[in-house]
Structure 1
Amino acid sequence: MGGYLANPLAFLVHTVFSLYILAVMLRFLLQWTRADFFNPISQFLVRITQPALRPLRRLIPGVGGVDLSAVVLMVLLQGLSLALVMLVYGVTPRLGYILVRTPADLLSLLFNLYFIAIIAQAILSWVMSPGQYHPAQTLLYSLTEPVLRPIRQIVPLVGGIDLSPLVALILLQVLKMLVMQPLNSVAPPIL
């Protein structure tokens, strides 16, 4: 296709698919961490992802508490998104590229999700009063605690301040650099 509308159309396709994949990823992670299912945000995620997951669950069972249908859905959606963006730019989708780029994009989204979740959790802990309830705070806690707990066991409080979010952010960024560099060299990102 190419031309004048290629960039805005590719951006739109990428954004719409990424937002839905993010919803599926959040649902998967919140199920995996056993977050509150009755939380309004959890209910929203279930409601918007259920139509796509229901038919896959008939074909792909979960294994050991892992929702494989959600993983398959994320892979399929990311692969379709890449193929559509390639078509928008007038490039014939190549299966080899899509097979390498799909997990790379999903891993990048996962790293970014945790990066933002840890920052949001830290900010909320500063502004929310102890005992005050907010649905997002409980889900952020459920999501980030498996990452922060091991770091808290190693890094002590310094003057009453928990530095584990800072350490986690640094470690996540280093890990993202180590993992994404080889993947990006094999299959560079489209956008």
Structure 2
Amino acid sequence: MLTNLLVMVINTYAMILLLRIWMQWARTDFYNPLSQFVVKVTQPVIRPLRRVIPPLGPIDSASLLIAFLLLTLKYPLMELIISGGISLSLVNLLAGLVSLIKTAGSLIFWVVIIRSLLSWVTQGRGPMDYLLMQLTEPLMGPIRRILPALGGIDFSGMIIVIILYILDNFFANLNYIGTLWQLP
């Protein structure tokens, strides 16, 4: 029970950090309420590191480092809760990297799904719609140019979800990484 809570909290905060990176990369509207939430939740952790770690072009390296460290420490903390002991190794770094990639894929999945669902309800009129459009358009736009809307239905979100599903199955079936991919 406690390990599930730990995994949920760490994964959620890492996803928020990755969302901050994605929003900066896509140059989204930072006056949007969701953008303000993300900045306010991550700023106390990111601000001190920004003095030491400069950004790498459009990538916020401080946010990326914190997300990686959180996801790397997740497994030793789970081990500490379950068995009372802790072991640190290079496998934890690889598990953290794999978890970072998996979390980024989950973030893309959920943003695309939420955008698709909101497009049916609000039809692009709300501030959340505009932010989600700014985030997903670099991914969905090229697909939309190849496969235009058929009968008024945009299939680009579905194509991205299928690509993410294929990538998830590919990584899950790799020899060594597959076992790390299956970790929570």
1:5 aligned partner: none
1:52 aligned partner: 45
1:3 aligned partner: none
Deviation at 1:187, TM superposition (A): 3.0
TM-score by length of 1: 0.87
TM-score by length of 2: 0.90
2:173 aligned partner: 181
Structure 2: which 5+ runs fail to align?
A: none
Maintained 8 Å contact 2:71/2:100: yes
Q: Is it true that 1:9 corresponds to 2:2 in the alignment?
A: yes
Residue in structure 1 matching 2:114, options 112, 116, 120: 120
Residue in structure 2 matching 1:144, options 136, 139, 145: 136
- 2:57 aligned counterpart, secondary structure: coil
Deviation at 1:49, TM superposition (A): 0.4
CA distance in 1 between counterparts of 2:179 and 2:116 reads 35
Structure 1: which 5+ runs fail to align?
A: 1-7
CA distance in 2 between counterparts of 1:117 and 1:62 reads 24
CA distance in 2 between counterparts of 1:180 and 1:64 reads 31
Q: Alignment identity in percent?
A: 35
CA distance in 2 between counterparts of 1:186 and 1:168 reads 24
Say how many residue pairs are matched: 182
Residue in structure 2 matching 1:62, options 55, 80, 92: 55
- 1:89 aligned counterpart, secondary structure: helix
Instruction: Judge which range, 48-57 or 178-187, deviates more.
Output: 178-187
Identify which of structures 1 and 2 has the higher relative contact order when contacts are C-alpha pairs closer than 8 Å and 6+ apart.
1
2:94 aligned partner: 100
